[in-house]
Structure 1
């Protein structure tokens, strides 16, 4: 994607430093989606969430990222299978399309408000 910007976050400093070395043009925040939401400068077209698997953090990541969207955006969640009931419950609430892979992928389309 020409001109695309990559934003990411992780709470593990070692993974953040490794990612920064591999992706020098990306903005990678050492923290949660709370801190990432402050760093994002424009509306995303794609969001990929693979965070804490509790309902609290899955929902918080969703709210933080959804708040950045100004146009159409696809939000993809990882680990939505039944061994992660918090994420699984959020997928049901959001009416996500769930692809039953080994770990499960959930897809939610955020439509622009017109």
Structure 2
């Protein structure tokens, strides 16, 4: 995991800028647009449920559970088709084709 995470890793920096709506977001706009485009034109080889393990506070968990319907994660995120995560919260994400149109 050392190669794909950490506070100084390029994608971590971009994700933080996306999540906080940072003024630095403009610095990454070309890369973000290109990445979004590439993801958008890539064929989906898997549909169904994927998982994301995260550390969340009790107040964050309560706020998320009170959401009625879909919510937006303002970052690019990785997921897994299996469930082994050493985090306190496991998010189940439905990536079936009908949700891809949202």
The TM-score with structure 1 as length reference comes to 0.32
With a CA cutoff of 8 Å and minimum separation of 6, indicate the structure with the bigger relative contact order.
2
* Structure label with greater radius of gyration: 2
More strand by share: 1
